[in-house]
Structure 1
Amino acid sequence: MKNHYELSYYLQQRGVLKSPLLVDSFNAIDRKDFVSPALLSEAYEDHPLGIGAGQTISQPYTVAFMLELLGLGESDHILDIGCGSGWSTALLAQTAKSGFVTGVELVPELLELARSNLEKYQFANIKLELAGEALGIPGQMFDKILVSAAAEEVPPELIGQLNPGGIMVIPVKNDMVVVSKREDGNIEQSNFSGFRFVPLIY
């Protein structure tokens, strides 16, 4: 694939990229802006790429799959845990145009990488923070939470940061897990198997 439009079309043909909001976002955000210069020739390939510090920019198929599971809306308040290169953060912010995205990253050099990459766009609805000792941002609530590294189990502290009616997508071991908090506060969970992620560190 030669550009991000071809990548978007490929993901649509694969049946993983479906919603009009996300199609528009994949057409607006160019993955090569978040890939290291040495790997630019692979920017549109459907596999993960190293970004330093033992971390990766995820496979496009996987990113599209996760974002579709979130059921994103234009006014969502979103937490992006492990923003890495900033690609997922940019896609979230482009989709939630009238909402807000808070990205947290544990590795300082990757936080600076994400900031540098996101400066290529004119987003006014993104805030990036260095992750603290606690997971997520205690005391704040979000409509959607995206976690881009694999936990050993669903963290209860993140469920506590999810608004009623909210959705969290998080890899747990080799499964993609969707956690939905109903309006009454009860939790529903769905699992999709067959994924591999770097481990969640906190």
Structure 2
Amino acid sequence: MGFAEELRNNCSADWDAAVNHPFVSQLLDGSLPDHDLRRYLVQDYQFCDAFTALLGQAVASAPSLPSRLVFAKVLGAFASDENTYFQDCFSELDVPGPDRSGPALEPATRDFDALMRSALATRSYPDVLAVLLVAEWLYGDWAARAGDPAGWPTQPKHSDWIRLHNNPEYNAWVTWLRDEFDAVEPAAPELRARVAETFAEAVRLERAFFDAAAPLAMTA
């Protein structure tokens, strides 16, 4: 078992709860109310700055040019395709400018942003990878629940978010990221423990973020 799989198994309760969250289920079947999607996207967009910086730090701290180029490619895609999705949905859902750029942050949003920036401040490749891996792998897992695209929701605000996290390029990126994380597993016990703690906290906050995005779905 690789380091990534070991850490995922150690926090399987939070991982599985996030992947199978009622919010995700409603997104996948197209029944997610606009007000929940709007709340979720407004909060999620606030991670873009820290996430972009994490990708940039991965470019800087990666051990080889081939690895740097992978992160550089993903950074470019994130800056174009994903940002375009957000802006299109914000327009469709009538999100005003202030809510796009500086809304009041939910506690889970604030905590996750702080975790990203804490990992960034370490300038440690394994720490940076731990946060990136959770964010990308967990999203790939919930998006995989959508199955064949023929059964996806018809509205782009739902289906395009699934497609961004369930396509051959994205799946290959997650697999590469997992392998890269395994390859740089820290030997020092204290660093290994810190990376494991960062990974587990990222998973916990992913679950908390979905809880905050659709609180009414939790009681349905």
Q: Which has the higher helix share?
A: 2
Under a length normalisation based on structure 1, what TM-score does the superposition of the two structures give? Answer: 0.30
Higher relative contact order (CA 8 A, sep 6+): 2
Under a length normalisation based on structure 2, what TM-score does the superposition of the two structures give? Answer: 0.28
| Bigger Cα Rg | 2
Q: Which has the higher strand share?
A: 1
